[in-house]
Structure 1
Amino acid sequence: MESGEDATGRHRLHLRPDTLRDAAPATLHLLPCEVLASRPAPVERFFTPAIRQRADGLEVSFRGRTLRGEEVVVPPGLAGYVMEADEKAEVLTGLGRKHKSRVEDDGEGQTRPEPLERGFDRCIGATASFDRFHLWGLETIPGPDAKVHAPVPED
């Protein structure tokens, strides 16, 4: 186990808020597949959907297979962002030199900077924003139990 990493393998995330302002709107599609690679890919080269409206939902083809789906709207008061680990920031913060996290102090509302720990702290930033996306299922529309349809907690 790396220094600072807890027993469950979790990490502490630090959001770079400046990236939220600059996040360009994106069109997103959640596809029912798994890609066994972790690198940039020219997805738009392989998936430029010609979405057809049917009586019971949306339909599109992907590599000869029929996908059925729906448009999911982000609930009012919330915003959607595509996030990416900021590798450069992680290198800089790994030694606690450039960026600092903020930690509550002694309960008097004061905060003090805390150095970030290599292998435990991760910096993330928004690369795109969205207010809706398409949710696709293989030959059937994903039901209400789909993970992305989880209810939003009320205040």
Structure 2
Amino acid sequence: MTTLLRFQSLTNEISSQLHFMPAEIQHNGSANVKSYFESNIRRESDNKVTASLRGRPLHGTKFDLPSGYTGVVFNETKKPVTEEEDRELTATHSFDSFHYWNLDREPSHGDKLHQALTWIDIAKALHSPVDASITDSQGSLKSEVSM
């Protein structure tokens, strides 16, 4: 199976807030999120927010994507019938920030999503060129690696 990603229609930036929810919602299509969800969001501090979904408490925070990265929303217009069929996803919107929500607890550095976004900075540091002028604590150039 192959997955084909189409980007030609990627011209729309999401104008409203984007929410990453801890729930599976059995609906594909637009929803009146502004009236039914965003109107109930309460700001606790700078980035911390609370709300509820179907009577359950949600704790959230706003995530900004790292500099140089853009998030993309894809829509699968034709779902495959079998596993062997190719999948085709079309980019519909882009974003640079979103709200991340947890049930019953505040988002933390231990959350998988936060760890994945942190890995972007770690990977950048690991794969960037090493400066040849790295020195030790006495100021001399380190040229050997001892084992």
Q: TM-score range by the shorter chain?
A: 0.5 to 0.7
- The number of residue pairs the alignment matches comes to 115
Q: Which runs of 5+ in 2 are unaligned?
A: 128-147
Q: Kindly indicate whether the alpha-carbon contact (under 8 Å) linking 1:29 and 1:135 is maintained by their aligned counterparts in 2.
A: yes
Q: For residue 108 of structure 2, what is the aligned residue in structure 1?
A: 143
1:82 is aligned to 2:73: yes
The structure with the largest alpha-carbon Rg is 2
Matches within 5 A, 1:38-77: 39-40=28-29, 42=31, 44=33, 46-55=36-45, 57-77=48-68
Q: TM-score, normalised by structure 1?
A: 0.61
For 1:14 and 1:137, the matched residues in 2 are separated by: 31
For 1:24 and 1:140, the matched residues in 2 are separated by: 30
Q: Kindly indicate whether the alpha-carbon contact (under 8 Å) linking 1:49 and 1:61 is maintained by their aligned counterparts in 2.
A: no
Q: Structure 1 residue 143: deviation in Å?
A: 2.0
Q: For residue 132 of structure 2, what is the aligned residue in structure 1?
A: none
Moved over 3 A (4+): none
Larger helix proportion of the pair: 2
Point out which structure has higher relative CO (alpha carbons under 8 A, 6+ apart): 1
C-alpha offsets along residues 65-102 of structure 1, whole Å, 9 cap, x if unaligned?
32111001111111001101232xx89xxxxxxxxxxx
97, 100, 105: which one pairs with 1:132? 97
Q: TM-score, normalised by structure 2?
A: 0.64
Identity of aligned residues (%): 31
